[in-house]
A and B are shown apart, each in its own frame.
Chain A
Amino acid sequence: MIQSITSQRLTAITILALSAMAIEGCKGKHSQQPAVKNEEAQPVAQILSSFKMGDEAAQAQLLKGFYVVENNSWRWTAGSFTVLLKPPMASAQKGGTLTLSFSVADIVIKKLKTVTLTASIGTTKLKPQTYSQAGSATYTVDVPADLLAKETVTIDFELDHSLPPGSVDLRELGLIATAVGLEPK
């Protein structure tokens, strides 16, 4: 008998709680479901001459071979990767310097011993550089002026070796890129 009364009481309370929840649920707009306000204003679209890998505004300049940004500062690359850069002022007359800042991962050196990086613009290959130690490194190379006499320049980077998919990661891995840029001489 006591349990029956208790059960009825519990049922009544539950129904009340349910009703209260239902009423709350019916109120339409809720603070927990705010509308999404998009960022519509587009700054003057421009191609940058140099940028860091975490730079949101430059993401579209990573044309291929770059993986998702990590810690908002670096990206793994594949064995070949491509960026789009704007030649800096006067570089079409005096030439420029291409710089890629990156790290060579321990696992890359352990598995591959050395890696050689070559940049090319169109069909012109720039001077390759070889890296045999893990850690931070910079690829710096002169770019002839005639290759920079355009609005934008597409630069292809290629490694002689990379870690194939499945050996360390499901992705093909090359370098850990942090920044890239063209500077006038």
Chain B
Amino acid sequence: MMAGGSSRAIRIQNWVLWAVSVLFMTALYWDGLRAWFIADDFAWLGLLRGVHNADDLFRAMFEPAAQGTIRPWSERGFFLLYESLFGLDALPFRLTAFATFALDLTLISWIARRLTGSRIAGFAAALIWTSNAALATAMTWSSAWNELLCPLFLLSALAFFVRYTETGDRRLWWAQIGVFILGFGALEINVVYPAIALAWALFVVPAERRGRMALRAAALFPVSVLYFALHTLAAPLPKTGGYGVHVDGRIFHTLVLYLKFSLLPQDWTAFGHQAWLGKAILIFGAVSLVALVAVELRAGRRAVLFGVAWYLATISPVLILPDHITDYYLTIPLAGLGTVASVGFSGSPVRRAWAAVALALYVCTSAPVARAATKWHQQQSEQVRVLVLGVEAAHQAHPGKAILLEGLTPALYVNSIGQSALYPLEIDEVYLTPGSEKDIEVTGGVADTAKTVLEPETAIHAINAGQALVYRIAGDHLRNITAVYSLTAPAKFPGSETAAPARVDPGNRLYAWTLGSGWAKPEDGVVWMRGRAWIQIKSPSQPGWKLSLEGFLQGEQLKAAPRHLRVSAEGIEIGTTKISDPETTFQRLFPLPDALVGRKTLNLEIQIDPVTRKGGEDYGALFGKIALVR
């Protein structure tokens, strides 16, 4: 009876501690539940639009991304499934992220309890992991769900391994392997799992079973090696760019930075805190942890090294990315920090008191920054929500009209239009007003403003022709400013009302007015030229400009015969070229003679020979972009 009562009390205590840790997490990151989609999310949300059959689905799930990642569960599958169920409602995505982290906390508490035998230590491990400001990104950004799902696989596999080492039940061993292999679909960091299992075997398993279990854990390494080999074959490691892999001395510098961010928020001073106070906290935290590890090792207790091993193993894959240092990569390693620190909550009352003070300082330091960072992320995503759903509302109110957006901040551009945020909604005719490009710095992976900003001539013509409307962001909605914009634009861009643009996309209906004779009817954003076609383009204001032609010919056309292209402007020949198999996609640059400088408009004549004749019609070539370039 007594034993039953005691066990019930323990269960209640465990449940209460778990509930408190999850409630603390929910309260701290509450704004993360309200966050909307942002930046990379739209690349994943755009996948569904291209899925029409099983082949499309397979490609969408497993084709490597630009950074060389293949994460079918945590990115592609997650977004494909949830978008098909909930559309662009972000709440189910966010709830799933929170639920995932709640499971992570459950498991890390269980692991820490196994290490220390202390329920308070388990609670402390969860609290330390949760409080770190580096989690703000993963707790607000659906594209970073992989950082929460990966530890769920790692910790679940480890839990099976732990129970296997305790019971010898082989079903647990195989369950571990199954979870481990599935974990590769969440994040590449899963590759370090064998090192984590080995660390448990070496530092935690009692001596009598240690050797056997270490050998067992070592047997997992070939799985990781095989995965790494296959992954590298499918998506070679990038050598350049932000995700370029560099194995050199910078690894140590990167490690030191991540260690620093683990103890003190990366944005400590940005939130108005004193730098000296940050240094003091950093030193106090580092000294406390080192002292704890030293005391434990001196006493012959090696379990504390498991947390160290977790941290180092899970941070190691990102140490070779010195050009992409971001605190959210700490999401998984920080579980190791929590595990190390939790050891401080076992042992003498003095040590526990010391650990409690350190924990209080850590939480007081990090949690407010985590909360503020979460709020900031949520506000950024709210602006994106207003823009994307505002454009959707405008599109529904004015079907068939192109939407021009005025007054986007650079950050909003990078987080939305620059990431094709309207593509998932199948709204393709969304542009920025002329001049918007001046403030926007385009970096890798963001749409070039040359494609997203309309030139004044095109914009003014589209507005005057009733093809386009202009909207400006006004707080929580968009405001239709077409009327006032059309009044002021001619003064802002003098001469644009009567000139042709310097860039023409013949297949885009907004440029239809620049096409002369010799063009077929546009279909699906492309238009065929016949054997001879005319088009208007802006005249260069100075010598030294070139005419750029980008086009497309079908493979069978080129296999039948090479094509000869001749271009002239205002009757002056500016270039001829030959296009042969297999150059189906071609680009040519023709210098413009000085005689063409300073005119209002250039009438271009493009001839192609021979043409393909089908159904009584001539088909010459498709043109993507015709533009003046330096």
Contact = CB atoms under 8 A, between A and B. Distances in A.
B99 A18 contact: yes
Contacts of B207: none
A10 B14 contact: yes
A17 interface: yes
A129 B314 CA distance: 65
Interface of B: 7, 10-11, 14-15, 18, 22, 33-34, 36, 85-86, 89-92, 95-96, 98-99, 102-103, 106, 110, 113, 385-386, 389-390, 392-394, 397, 406-407, 409, 435, 471-472, 474, 476-489, 491-492, 494
Given A5-B11, A6-B11, A14-B103, A32 B33 contact: yes
A47 B488 contact: yes
B333 to A, nearest CB: 24
A84 B488 contact: yes
- The 3 A-B pairs of least Cβ separation, nearest first, read A45-B483, A25-B92, A36-B389
A77 to B, nearest CB: 14
A9 B89 contact: no
A47 to B, nearest CB: 6
A24 B86 CA distance: 12
A10 B484 contact: no
Contacts of B95: 21-22, 24-25
A42 B482 contact: yes
A56 B474 contact: yes
Contacts of B487: 45-47, 60, 152
Contacts of A29: 89
Interface in A37-60: 37-42, 44-47, 56-57, 59-60
28 contacts: A6-B14, A9-B15, A10-B18, A18-B102, A21-B95, A21-B96, A21-B99, A22-B92, A26-B85, A26-B92, A33-B91, A36-B389, A36-B390, A38-B480, A39-B474, A40-B480, A41-B480, A42-B480, A42-B482, A47-B484, A59-B407, A59-B472, A60-B485, A63-B491, A68-B409, A84-B488, A84-B491, A154-B491
Contacts of A9: 11, 14-15
B34 A32 contact: yes
B89 A5 contact: no
A71 interface: no
Contacts of A124: none
B96 A37 contact: no
Given A2-B10, A18-B99, A38 B397 contact: yes
Contacts of A59: 407, 472
Interface string A135-176: 000000000000000001010000000000000000000000
Nearest to B433: A60
A169 to B, nearest CB: 13
A28 B90 CA distance: 10
A64 interface: yes
Contacts of B480: 38-42
A57 B96 contact: no
A17 B23 CA distance: 12
Nearest to B167: A4
Contact of B477 (A22, A38, A44): A38
Given A25-B95, A47-B488, 4 more contacts: A26-B85, A46-B484, A47-B487, A63-B491
A13 interface: yes
Nearest to B159: A7
B18 A36 contact: no
A26 B392 CA distance: 22
Contact of A57 (B406, B471, B478, B484): B484
Contact of B89 (A14, A30, A41, A152): A30
A32 B481 contact: no
A61 interface: yes
A123 interface: no
A47 B385 CA distance: 31
Q: Which of B10, B389, B406, B484 has the most CB of A within 10 A?
A: B484
Contacts of B390: 36, 38
